[in-house]
Amino acid sequence: MISKNEIKYIQTLYHKKTRDEENVFVAEGPKLAEELLHSNFTVRKIYALSKWIEKHPQIAATEITPEELEKISRLDTPNQTLAIIEKKKQDSNNVSFTKQITLALDGIQDPGNFGTIIRIADWFGIRQVIASEDCVDCYNPKTVQSTMGSIFRVNIFYTNLEKCLSESNVPVFGALLNGENVQHATPAEEGILVIGNESKGIRENILPYITQSLTIPAFGQAESLNAAVATGIILSHLVQR
């Protein structure tokens, strides 16, 4: 049972302003619910259909009808559960770059791209992502869903990227034209990989901090690759055992 006020409240969480004020976000579906329950995120509330609740008797979920789920969901096909989760406090002053690969996102605008990049980062064992302040909100519902649960494992810090890079003392890799062929790059154990905006690439003010340019060689005529695909390709050459 869900009240009209709760329905209204959840609908307001699809606006960044309200998410920021309330310090919560929404994640939908059994896959994300599962990952959430194994994470150290604090759940405010889980709404679920009876069939999900029957399978998870140990979880204190609020039972709702498919019609009610339809009202609060943002998915084309609402899928059993919707959770309201507390955001984590991320203090970018505590970011350490040593002995790990960090991803730095410079102006990634598309929520789906951002989420897919977080999922890729998680796949390659990357524990932290720093994002320029003009990147899309990582708690945007489309971003959260695209991470497929990786949002609960990867730490995301919004920060002044230029300042952050200027204070780092590890190699900074950047996906650029005319860099070293990434297929011949030496795997790295430490460093920051900068991924630029979908259409404009890496910003001018960030370029001076890049210590190693990497290029994905083009064998055909496509002008560019999707930012998430490029991230996956570069990481698969940089992160090796």
Q: Which residues bind a copy of itself (CB under 8 A)?
A: 116, 119-126, 148-150, 153, 182-183, 216-226, 228-230, 232-233, 236-237, 239-241
In the complex, minimum distance from the CB of residue 167 to a copy of itself, in angstroms, rounded to a whole number: 26
- Closer residue to a copy of itself, CB minimum distance, 166 or 181: 181
Structure tokens at 148: 């497929």
Q: Which is nearer to a copy of itself, 84 or 175 (CB)?
A: 175
Looking at the DSSP bridge assignments, the partners of residue 27 are: 83
Strand arrangement, sheet containing 128-132: 155-159, 128-132, 101-106, 191-196, 172-181, 212-215
Residue bearing tokens 């524990």: 127
**Minimum CB separation from a copy of itself for residue 179, in Å?**
14
CB nearer to a copy of itself: pick between 131 and 234 = 234
Rg (CA), the chain: 19
Compare residues 19 and 119 and give the one whose CB is closer to a copy of itself. Answer: 119
Alpha carbon distance 117, 122 (integer Å): 9
Least distance (Å) between residue 19 CB and a copy of itself = 22
Q: Which is nearer to a copy of itself, 204 or 223 (CB)?
A: 223
- Pick the closer one to a copy of itself by CB: 174 or 232: 232
Give least dist CB 49 to a copy of itself, A: 20
The secondary structure of 152-197 as a DSSP string is: GTSEEEEE-HHHHHHH--S-EEEEEEEEEEGGGPPP-SSEEEEEEB
Query: Can you list the positions of beta strands (E) in the chain?
Result: 24-28, 43-48, 62-63, 81-86, 101-106, 128-132, 155-159, 172-181, 191-196, 212-215
Q: Minimum distance between the CB of residue 5 and a copy of itself, rounded to whole angstroms? A: 31
Query: What minimum distance in Å lies between the beta carbon of 9 and a copy of itself?
Result: 27
